[in-house]
Amino acid sequence: MKKFMIMMMRQWSHSPMKMILTLIAVALGSFILILAFNVTEIIDEQVETQLNNNGIVVQVANGTWDADGDIDQTRPSEWDSTIQSYLISDTDTIEDTAIVSRSIFNEITVSGTSYDLRNSIATEGSYFDIYGLEIVAGVEMTDEDLNLGSKKVWISKETAEIIFGTAENAVGEWVQPPGDAFSRGLGNRTQNVVTQYLIAGVYEIPSEITRKVYGIGDLLVPYTAILPSEMSSSMAKDMLSGMLVVKSSETSVEEAEQTIKQVIYQNYGEDIDVEVWEGSMQGETTYMNDLRKTVQVFTVSVNILGLVLMLVSTLGVFSIMLVEALSRKRQIALERSLGASKNRIIKEFWSWSMAMCFLGVVIGAIIAYFAFPSILQTITPLFGELSNELDLGVGFSLLALAKSSILILVFGGMFGVIPVIPVVKENIAEGLKEV
């Protein structure tokens, strides 16, 4: 400690401005690296959480891709509705499944006014659980609704607010899909054959990212409700079971695909056409790929920038240690002649370098802690509509702080000992001649 204080006072007396600038540089390097790691960690975590919804969600279809990139389903399906129970019972990773199909609702009419829908899906109650769709008004879709083919629909909160003002106002209202036109009556006037559907519930989609990536519908309807009433629910299940949405606890889409195909081949034969993909019913969305590429480019760029600035800032430590080593050549030679080992002298310089870096890290961490919320709010608009989905209330990451501190201390300590290595290797007699 005594030598440490003497070294610090000597450096301060010789070049106080250089000492101050070095500490500022290390502090700024620490500050930027800590922020870079914090921001990229938050972006990665939140985007992956929203995309994966605490699991991998994939579409499964009995069919093949056509030249236009659409799924060409096999009709009739080469498997039946028991595929759902096989997928869950024969694996430890498949958590839930739901039959999905395109519905008749490309628009709805309410009190004579028509509204276009971005997407609508005929499905079942487990669809809500797979995508984390929370019922905010009304009731849930039940097995009874499916078995009876109930003429009910569930709409998103966003759709409910646009049409009815609030989610609560939407429950109990009637909507109708486009009908088939035919002529009857006097003058063969054209009329529409329509069926009224009751809004039984309103659900909230977790995020706009989730909606776009997975094509979650603005309206959901029991898939048995869009088929002829004389068809039994079991027949409807078998007929529409050729496309499913599956939630898996696997860590990647590739692993989930392998598991799903293995179960299907074991139970229905290996000559069945099976396609598994991450995205919407229409196929893998470019939005998802673009989003991941944007986040990847941002995180890599910010981390590289942080590392470069950290290296530049720690070079100031190298400069100070170089001056110290050259000015103490004779003293180091004298210490070695009195029995001091090379490692002891190198350790002394290393300790001094680490101390300066540690002080810079502390200053940088304090600045980063208080500046982090403001900086996060400043950079989030760079992500466009993704910025609306980010939780700006997240806390400061201790893991990012630890990684940044370790890197700065490692490189600062390394740059601190490089200048003294040639000095301690010099012949003692030559060193003692230095004036």
SS (H, E, C) the chain: CHHHHHHHHHHHHHCHHHHHHHHHHHHHHHHHHHHHHHHHHHHHHHHHHHHHCCCEEEEEEEEEECCCCCEEECCCCCCCCCHHHHHHHCCCCEEEEEECEECCCCEEEECCEEEECCCEEEECCHHHHHHCCEEEEECCCCHHHHHHCCCEEEEEHHHHHHHHCCHHHHCCCEEECCCEEEEECHHHEEEEECCCEEEEEEEECCCHHHHHHHCCCCEEEEHHHHCCCCCCHHHHHHHHCCEEEEEECCCCHHHHHHHHHHHHHHHHCCCCCEEEECCECCECCHHHHHHHHHHHHHHHHHHHHHHHHHHHHHHHHHHHHHHHHHHCHHHHHHHHHCCCCHHHHHHHHHHHHHHHHHHHHHHHHHHHHHHHHHHHHHHHHHHHHHHHHCCCCCCCCHHHHHHHHHHHHHHHHHHHHCCHHHHHHCCHHHHHCCC
pLDDT band at 433 (very low <50, low <70, confident <90, very high): low
Instruction: Classify the C-alpha dihedral 382-385-388-391 as positive or negative.
Output: negative
Q: How confident is the model at residue 99, as a pLDDT?
A: 92
Give the pLDDT confidence score for residue 100 in this predicted structure: 92
Higher per-residue confidence, 133 vs 328: 133
Per-residue pLDDT for 89 more than 70?
yes
Query: What pLDDT, on a 0 to 100 scale, did the predictor assign at position 179?
Result: 63
CA-wise closest residue to 350 among 286, 269, 411, 264: 411
User: What is the structure's pLDDT at 402?
Assistant: 86
For the stretch 113-142, pLDDT in tens is 889 998 899 999 999 999 989 999 999 999
The average pLDDT across 39-50 equals 70
pLDDT of residue 186: 45
Indicate the pairing of strand 134-138 with strand 197-204. Answer: antiparallel
Helix axes 286-327, 329-337, angle to 10 degrees: 70
Q: Are strands 94-99 and 243-248 parallel, antiparallel or unpaired?
A: antiparallel
pLDDT at residue 276, as a whole number: 92
pLDDT at residue 11 greater than cutoff 70: no
Whether residue 429 has pLDDT greater than 90: no
